[in-house]
């Protein structure tokens, strides 16, 4: 009776090791590929998030400028109203004395009223412009939030991809892919709204 097994175990062990390495290597390549793709989308989403918020900040600044212009117009409106009231008050002594005030007083009062109407229209235009710009900025801020959420989900999926590569766990890799897919949905949403 032979003392050792008749089958060459060393060669069998090498074949098993090579086969395991092939399977593990393929898994690592797949994990690396999906993680790299997710990282690329995360980078683009991050740039889009930054771009959206920067544009929103510029628009909010523009809306603030329009508000300042509207406030200036309303102050001008009030000043014309005060001048008109002074013209009307200047007629009171004449009327109290039973005399007809000079026609210039009425003409000035009428001119101030017309100027007030024009100033009011200008102020309201500036307020409408402010509201439109502010609404556009709010939409960009909402877009920024969607991109930022996409970046967060993609980053977590990339981290899970790294964990799956270290542990060679297909389950963790699939979780990474699913979370990455959710991030890609968040990434795509701003393009359709």
193 contacts: CB under 8 Å, gap ≥ 6: 143
Residue 6 structure tokens: 């008749």
Phi-psi region of 165 (alpha: psi -120 to 50; beta: other; left: phi over 0): alpha
pLDDT of residue 27: 85
Q: What does the pLDDT read at residue 22?
A: 62
- In the block, which residue shows the tokens 């412009």? 129
Regions in the chain scoring below 50 on pLDDT: 1-2, 4-5, 7, 12
- Which phi-psi region, left, alpha or beta, contains residue 98 (left: φ > 0; alpha: ψ -120 to 50)? left
Q: The tokens of 190 are what? A: 């701003």
Write down the pLDDT at residue 12.
47
Q: Please check whether residue 163 is in contact with residue 175, taking contact to mean a CB–CB distance below 8 angstroms.
A: no
pLDDT, residue 135, reads: 97
Show me where the domains of the chain are located.
39-192
If one counts every other C-beta atom within 10 angstroms of the C-beta of residue 17, the result is 10
Question: What is the pLDDT at residue 193?
Answer: 73
The C-alpha atoms of residue 181 and residue 171 are separated, in whole angstroms, by 15
The Cα 111–Cα 10 span in angstroms is 109
pTM score of the predicted model: 0.72
Q: What was the pLDDT predicted at 5?
A: 47
> Distance from CA of residue 139 to its chain's centroid?
7
Q: What is the pLDDT of residue 162?
A: 93
3-class DSSP state of 3: coil
From the list 153, 146, 191, the residue with the least C-alpha distance to 175 is: 153
Six-digit token string for 62: 């523009």
Distance of CA 175 to the CA centre of its chain: 28
Per-residue pLDDT of 2-19, as tens digits, reads: 454 454 556 645 655 565
């Amino acid at each position: 009776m032979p003392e050792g097994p008749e089958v060459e175990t060393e060669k069998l062990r090498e074949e098993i090791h090579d086969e395991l390495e092939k399977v593990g290597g393929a898994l690592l390549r797949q994990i690396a590929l999906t993680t790299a793709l997710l990282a690329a989308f995360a980078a683009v989403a991050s740039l889009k998030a930054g771009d959206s918020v920067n544009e929103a900040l510029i628009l909010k600044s523009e809306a603030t400028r329009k508000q300042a212009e509207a406030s200036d117009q309303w102050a001008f409106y009030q000043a014309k109203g005060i001048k008109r009231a002074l013209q009307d008050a200047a007629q009171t002594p004449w009327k109290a004395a039973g005399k007809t005030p000079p026609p210039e007083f009425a003409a000035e009062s009428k001119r101030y009223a017309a100027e007030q109407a024009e100033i009011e229209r200008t102020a309201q235009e500036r307020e409408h412009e402010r509201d439109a710009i502010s609404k556009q900025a709010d939409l960009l801020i909402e877009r920024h939030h969607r991109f930022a959420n996409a970046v967060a989900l993609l980053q977590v999926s990339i981290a899970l991809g790294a964990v799956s590569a270290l542990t060679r766990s297909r389950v963790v890799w699939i979780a990474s892919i699913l979370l990455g897919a959710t991030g890609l949905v968040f990434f795509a949403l701003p393009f359709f709204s």
